[in-house]
Amino acid sequence: MKRALITGITGQDGSYLAEFLLSNGYEVHGLIRRSSTFNTDRIDHLYLDPHDPQARLFLHYGDLSDSGQVTNLVYNIQPDEIYHLAAQSHVRVSFDMPEFTGNITGLGTTRILEAVRRSGIRTKFYQASSSEMFGDAPAPQNEITPFRPRSPYAAAKVYAYWMTVNYRDGYHMFACNGILFNHESPRRGETFVTRKITRAIAYIIAGKQKKLYLGNLEAKRDWGFTPEYVVCQWLILQQDKPDDYVIGTGESHSVKEFVELAFKYAGIEIEWKGVEAYQKGIVKSLSCRLQTLASHVKVGDTLIEIDPKYFRPTEVDFLRADIIKAKKNLGWVPKVTFEELIKIMVDSDMELIGMNTPGEGKKALKEKGIHWTENKFILG
């Protein structure tokens, strides 16, 4: 039985990766932070009491700022594979907390790499690198595109990227960077833009929220479906040689397009009025289904407004992945499209607050051989 250690197991990616590795026979160890409230929602469905002979998921307290504990864990667990996903991962927050972000998102990687080196174990190491590192480098971006980071988060990730490369070259470690473009899912944190939008739609329809406040609507991202991306994280460590890979869909869309399609799928057509960066999203028309489901929403209502507090001092305008290398070496091609991703997330957020959904997200997954029950996705 292979043994994996996942840092960031309570996060979006960590939870799907744990699910994937457990279903492939791994013993999985996860690093979790002590918190005064439970922070294991995303993995509770995977957890068994450690005394249960069937238990293959084990959680350990630790923090990326504590190198002693990180070293102990790596040494005691002796994992075959380490997936280092933990980070302060919010770009906007990194402008407010640049030093903390450098410490956790940047130095956190060095602490794990050092723990591996000092404990002398042979393990494969995956670093969760990010398309954010490309900053304002022209799209499409691939493995040889120079990094031009535009946030404290991105600068910290660039440092961690190069530390990973240095430990691979200097100490012959099987250390790899997965440079992942944005990936989303029903388990995405609620303050990232996609989930913020789909959740707001469900809340507006349920009458629990009046408006959605956003920042820059023009930024373009290459958005994919997370359960497909964690398979790449695993594939990257299964290659004969350690290497770095760009993972994305190759398609890019603006935040505005995401808003329009998500509202439209839920039955609300949006039109934009007002000056450029401060446009308002107004209800142009409503589907029959929605007129019955949400009679409090009316044509002419303003549902979306811009709040400058969500603007970033420096923005990344345009990300689009060139995934030729991943296609060729990993044999990986994403199946879920942008429109399907939106439908899946809207369906899920509506379901979460007990509403009937249009159901097209589930249908699309089924057609692609991806099984979805109770927030779990099983890839065919």
Interacting residue ranges for ligand GDD, rule: CB under 6 A? 89, 91-92, 130-132, 181-182, 191-193, 196, 214-216, 219, 221, 255, 310, 312, 315, 319
Single out the catalytic residue among 132, 184, 228, 351. Answer: 132
127 binds ligand NAP (CB under 6 A): no
Minimum CB separation from ligand NAP for residue 246, in Å?
11
Shorter beta-carbon distance to ligand NAP: residue 123 or 131: 131
Residue 236 phi, psi (nearest 5): -60, -35
Minimum CB separation from ligand GDD for residue 357, in Å?
23
237 binds ligand NAP (CB under 6 A): no
153 is catalytic: yes
5, 26, 88, 261: residue in contact with ligand NAP (rule CB under 6 A): 88
CA 136 to chain centroid: 21
130 is catalytic: yes
60, 63, 211, 358: residue in contact with ligand NAP (rule CB under 6 A): 63
89 binds ligand NAP (CB under 6 A): yes
4, 5, 13, 306: residue in contact with ligand NAP (rule CB under 6 A): 13
14 binds ligand NAP (CB under 6 A): yes
Residue 250 contacts which entry, ligand GDD, ligand NAP, none (Cβ below 5-8 A, type-dependent): none
182, 194, 198, 348: residue in contact with ligand NAP (rule CB under 6 A): 182
Q: How far apart are alpha carbons 279 and 299 in whole angstroms?
A: 17
Q: How far apart are alpha carbons 5 and 10 in whole angstroms?
A: 13
371 binds ligand NAP (CB under 6 A): no
Sequential DSSP letters for 155-171: HHHHHHHHHHHHHHHHH
| Amino acid occupying residue 220 | K
Within residues 309-368, the interface with ligand NAP by CB under 6 A covers none
Shorter beta-carbon distance to ligand NAP: residue 12 or 123: 12
Q: Where are the beta strands (DSSP E) in the chain?
A: 3-7, 27-32, 57-61, 81-84, 124-130, 174-180, 183-184, 212-214, 220-221, 224-225, 245-247, 253-254, 268-273, 280-286, 302-306, 371-373, 376-378
18, 57, 73, 87: residue in contact with ligand NAP (rule CB under 6 A): 87
Q: How far apart are alpha carbons 67 and 69 in whole angstroms?
A: 6
Minimum CB separation from ligand NAP for residue 33, in Å?
4
Q: How far apart are alpha carbons 233 and 242 in whole angstroms?
A: 12
Give me the half-sphere count of Cα atoms (radius 13 Å) on the Cβ side of residue 238: 13
Contact 222, 251 (CB under 8 A): yes
- For residue 300, the tally of other CB atoms under 10 A from its CB is 7
85 binds ligand NAP (CB under 6 A): yes
242 binds ligand NAP (CB under 6 A): no
* Secondary structure class of 126 (helix, strand, coil): strand
How distant, in Å, are the alpha carbons of 24, 47, 49, 122 from that of 28? 11, 11, 14, 17
Active-site annotation, residues: 130, 132, 153
Residues that bind ligand NAP (CB under 6 A): 7-8, 10-14, 31, 33, 35, 39, 63-65, 85-89, 104, 128, 130, 180, 182-183, 189
